[in-house]
Each structure stands twice: as structure tokens, then as C-alpha cells.
Amino acid sequence: MDIAPQDILVMLKLVSIGQRDWSYNNLATELGMSSSQAHSAVKRALSTQLALRRNGRIAPQTNNLEEFLVHGLKYLCIPRRGELTRGIPTAHGAPPLVDMLIEPQDVVPVWPHPEGKVRGESFSPIFRSAPKASMRDNKLYQLLALVDAIRGGRARERTLAARELGKRLKAYG
């Protein structure tokens, strides 16, 4: 069974939720996908060992997830970059990396979105509903921005993002 980009979105949402209870319907609603998509994503994550069943609950397997996000995702989800547009900052243009890396003259990567308030270089999200889902959940937004820095950043950005993502995944686990 292959992994799909929405599987990563679902796993990052589960990290964001933490130890709270969740349902497929709530997960789907919060991520802008159908319940069957959310269920299939969790099923694929279990089969690829990005998630596990623990005490009757399904949870991200944070060690495997971190390894995949840092070393494999950039080959599965290559970002498409484009023209300048309005959108939601991501990668090194978003928290938590923005304060560490951005110079005032830098053009930041953005997910194109009509409600975005920043003008920057178009950067494709990991899944089409990720920008809207991130507007509802700041923890998810920061996790997605870190993943985007790994997917499409320069060496320093990738290193800082991998370190920060590792801290957040360890805090979950």
C-alpha cells in the first residue's frame, strides 16, 4: 500500500490534536476531506508504520513519521513554485522559522489562498485543503510550515526545520 500526501496531513493533525480523543468525522471536517478519505489515510499510515494502535487508540508512530518527513517526503511531494501571489506564508516564511531566517527583502513562499494577507512566491501545499485546515489550527499550521521548509528549503532551512519538527514530534510521543 502506498502513502499519499493526505496521509501526512492526517498524521500531522493527529500530532496537533495530541492525546485528545478524535473521530474520523471530526478529523475529516477539520481537514476539509471526506470521512472515507480520512479513514483511508489512517489505514495507509497504519500499513506503512507511520501510525500504530496503542491501547485501543490509533496514534502517529513519531519516530517513523519523523524519519519519513525529514528524509523521504521531499521525493514524494515535490513543491511546485510559481508566480508572485497573495497567500498564507509557509516554510521559512511562517512560524516558527520566520524569525530565525527571513531578511526584510526576502520573498516568502506562500500557499495561494484568497484570504491570504501576504504577497509571496506560490508554493504548492502538501494537500489542497492544508491551507484552510491550517487557518483553524495554529499547531497544525506550524507543523505544515516546518514540513514545507524540509520539502522545498535550502540546506540551513531544512536543518532548522528538521530540528524543530523533531522536538515537536518528541513532545507528542
Are 161 and 150 within 8 A, CB to CB?
Answer: yes
Q: Which of 51, 74, 97 lies at the terminal end of a domain, its last residue?
A: 74
Residue, of 101 and 156, whose pLDDT is higher = 156
Q: Are residues 82 and 104 in the same domain?
A: yes
Q: Are residues 39 and 105 in the same domain?
A: no
Cα 126–129–135 angle (5° rounding)?
100
Q: Are residues 38 and 102 in the same domain?
A: no
The residue range of the domain holding 35 is: 5-74
Output the pTM of the full model. Answer: 0.95
Cα 45–46–47 angle (5° rounding)?
90
Specify the pLDDT at position 55: 85
Q: Provide the pLDDT confidence category of residue 1 given band limits of 50, 70 and 90.
A: low
Q: Provide the pLDDT confidence category of residue 111 given band limits of 50, 70 and 90.
A: very high
Are 62 and 15 within 8 A, CB to CB?
Answer: yes
Q: Provide the pLDDT confidence category of residue 106 given band limits of 50, 70 and 90.
A: confident
Average pLDDT, the chain: 94
Q: Are residues 32 and 86 in the same domain?
A: no
Question: What's the CATH code of the domain at 10?
Answer: 1.10.10.10
Are 61 and 51 within 8 A, CB to CB?
Answer: yes
Residue 84 three-state SS: strand
